[in-house]
Amino acid sequence: MSEKIHYVPIAKPCMGEPEAEAASRAIMSGWVTQGPEVAAFEQEFAAYVGANYACAVSNCTTALHLALLAVGVQPGDEVITVSHSYIATANSIRYCGAIPVFVDIEPQTYNINPLLIADVISDSLRDSSASRTRAILIVHQMGMPCDLKAILDVAHQHNLPVIEDAACAIGSEILWNGEWEKIGKPHGDIACFSFHPRKVITTGDGGMLTTNNPEWDKQFRLWRQHGMSVPDTVRHGAKQVIFESYPMLGYNYRMTDIQAAVGREQLKRLSEITERRRYLAQQYQQMLADVPGLKLPTEPDWAKSNWQSYCVRLPEKCDQRQVMQVMLDAGVATRRGIMCAHREPAYQIEAWLCGSRECQCEKANCDRLCESEQAQDRTILLPLFHQMTQHEQDYVVKVLKMACQV
Ligand SMILES: *Cc1c(COP(=O)(O)O)cnc(C)c1O
């Protein structure tokens, strides 16, 4: 007899003694913010994804902000992105005083539809002068790699930089010139990662920027520490008195050494975590294949997701909230599909565009973003975490099948 299940959470961080010891090591060392642990974490992270440079910051939102600044996004510029993402993606564009231009997603992968990008790049958007588009910010949603080849083709034709919001995509891979490469190499110009507990590995909070451009990497390092000319570590180790200066406006976007020490331990577990998540996703794929009307996520043959989230599209007859409630009543936590920024009150002012003057959209209901809205309204995310047992997964499947019958 297997134990009765009381509750299956949507996610659970995979941490233990090694992380606790690492945090303690940083605390006992006497150096607790951005220092030697951060430097080591950056090196190990860069090696893992195959990037020349990695710069640690306080979270992925601040990483996105710095990435946009580095490629030259200025007030009034337009940045092409998706509405269908965690709100931080679009917010980071607004931090620069720029305007998000939302493009719809593909219903199968929940990622930006590359065929719709060229259409919104033009100068024909609102004025007939030079193009106002400054960058493309794509999202590897729920860990599924975007169609980078197609996106980069369009971007290169228009000479636009590509930033990858890889908040969820640590460990995900893409087939590139015949080889599997990690997301974050980066394939665009800059990739941004998150270590929030809802992601695959965590430092409590935390973020990372990867790039192959040494100038941008230098910029990130200045900006994250108040624009200060001399890092603390250098001043601390110097035999001569150094006076720092502040050549530019900076921010406090530092990661602490306590977080980085934890991150280094998490990185060691990443291969095992990714493997386990892929196994669990495959199990869902098999066990849910026969549910009438239920649409399972598809993985293109050039992509390997880390399955940060496992998202299913409900049968037509099912009500999303009702299915979720029935499952919760049975002790299974779910989440609705990824949100759409354009439907939130924070975006009800003239804070965004959908790229069409003709669109009759009433903000929360945009014709041009209907796949995004459908994805939010018609999908749910199922529990998937490293420690999930066979028994728990069987139970989630059973409860979902029951909820779809109601
Ligand atoms: C979680 C997430 C973010 C924000 O990450 P933080 O580290 O919490 O700032 C940004 N974009 C996407 C797609 C995310 O899922």
pLDDT per residue as tens, the chain (406 positions): 567 888 999 999 999 999 999 999 999 999 999 999 999 999 999 999 999 999 999 999 999 999 999 999 999 999 999 999 999 999 999 999 999 999 999 999 999 999 999 999 965 444 555 558 999 999 999 999 999 999 999 999 999 999 999 999 999 999 999 999 999 999 999 999 999 999 999 999 999 999 999 999 999 999 999 999 988 888 888 999 999 999 999 999 999 999 999 999 999 999 999 999 999 999 999 999 999 999 999 999 999 999 999 999 999 999 999 999 999 999 999 999 999 999 999 998 777 888 777 777 777 788 899 999 999 999 999 999 999 999 999 999 999 999 999 7
Nearest atom of ligand 1 to the alpha carbon of 206? 7
Distance, CA of 378 to CA of 315 (rounded, Å):
8
Helix ranges (H only) for 224-356 are: 232-237, 257-287, 320-329
Q: What is the pLDDT of residue 327?
A: 98
**33: how many CB neighbours lie within 10 A of its CB?**
16
254: DSSP letter:
P
**114: how many CB neighbours lie within 10 A of its CB?**
20
Helix (H, G, I), strand (E, B) or coil at 371: helix
How many angstroms separate the alpha carbon of residue 2 from the centre of ligand 1? 37
Nearest atom of ligand 1 to the alpha carbon of 207? 7
Instruction: Confirm if 123 and 129 have CB atoms less than 8 A apart.
Output: yes
Query: CATH code at 33?
Result: 3.40.640.10
Instruction: Confirm if 170 and 144 have CB atoms less than 8 A apart.
Output: no
> Any residues with CB less than 8 A from the CB of 97 and at least 6 apart, and which?
74, 75, 76
Residues with CB under 6 A from ligand 1: 59-61, 85-86, 88-89, 139, 165, 167-168, 194, 196, 207
Nearest atom of ligand 1 to the alpha carbon of 198? 1
Identity of residue 274: T
CA angle centred on 129, ends 83 and 132, rounded to 5°: 30
Q: What is the pLDDT of residue 89?
A: 98
> Any residues with CB less than 8 A from the CB of 127 and at least 6 apart, and which?
none
Domain extent for 162: 17-405
Identity of residue 299: E
How many angstroms separate the alpha carbon of residue 179 from the centre of ligand 1? 28
User: Which residue of 10, 61, 266 sits with most ligand 1 atoms within 8 Å of its CB, as the best mutation to test the pocket?
Assistant: 61
CA angle centred on 158, ends 369 and 143, rounded to 5°: 50
In this structure, is residue 117 part of a structural domain? yes
Give the count of domains, the chain.
Answer: 1
How many angstroms separate the alpha carbon of residue 62 from the centre of ligand 1? 10
Instruction: Confirm if 308 and 238 have CB atoms less than 8 A apart.
Output: no
The beta strands (E) that lie in 83-169 are given as 99-103, 133-139, 162-165
How many angstroms separate the alpha carbon of residue 195 from the centre of ligand 1? 8
How many angstroms separate the alpha carbon of residue 303 from the centre of ligand 1? 21
* Burial category of 229 from C-beta neighbours within 10 Å (exposed 0-12, middle 13-18, buried 19 and up): middle
Instruction: Confirm if 141 and 380 have CB atoms less than 8 A apart.
Output: no
pTM for the full model? 0.96
Nearest atom of ligand 1 to the alpha carbon of 141? 13
Instruction: Confirm if 244 and 180 have CB atoms less than 8 A apart.
Output: no
User: Which residue of 138, 144, 196 sits with most ligand 1 atoms within 8 Å of its CB, as the best mutation to test the pocket?
Assistant: 196
So which residues are the catalytic ones?
199
Packing angle, helices 257-287 and 36-49, rounded to 10: 30
Hey, what are 92's tokens?
């980071």
User: Which residue of 194, 203, 254, 259 sits with most ligand 1 atoms within 8 Å of its CB, as the best mutation to test the pocket?
Assistant: 194
Q: Which residues of 389-398 are buried (b: 16+ CB within 10 A; e: fewer)?
A: eeebbebbbe
Task: Give, using CA atoms, the residue closest to atom 2 of ligand 1.
Answer: 167
Q: What is the pLDDT of residue 234?
A: 86
How many angstroms separate the alpha carbon of residue 202 from the centre of ligand 1? 12
User: Which residue of 57, 60, 200 sits with most ligand 1 atoms within 8 Å of its CB, as the best mutation to test the pocket?
Assistant: 60
How many angstroms separate the alpha carbon of residue 136 from the centre of ligand 1? 17
Question: Which uninterrupted H or E stretch holds 88?
Answer: helix 88-95
How many angstroms separate the alpha carbon of residue 167 from the centre of ligand 1? 5
Task: Give, using CA atoms, the residue closest to atom 1 of ligand 1.
Answer: 167
Nearest atom of ligand 1 to the alpha carbon of 195? 7
In this structure, is residue 12 part of a structural domain? no
- Give the pairing type, strands 173-176 and 179-182: antiparallel
Q: Which of 18, 1, 3 is nearest to 265 (CA)?
A: 18
Instruction: Confirm if 308 and 273 have CB atoms less than 8 A apart.
Output: no
In this structure, is residue 202 part of a structural domain? yes
Distance, CA of 41 to CA of 204 (rounded, Å):
15
Nearest atom of ligand 1 to the alpha carbon of 63? 9
Hey, what are 391's tokens?
């028994």
Helix (H, G, I), strand (E, B) or coil at 187: coil
Nearest atom of ligand 1 to the alpha carbon of 59? 7
Q: Which residues of 340-355 are buried (b: 16+ CB within 10 A; e: fewer)?
A: bbbbeeebeeebbbbb
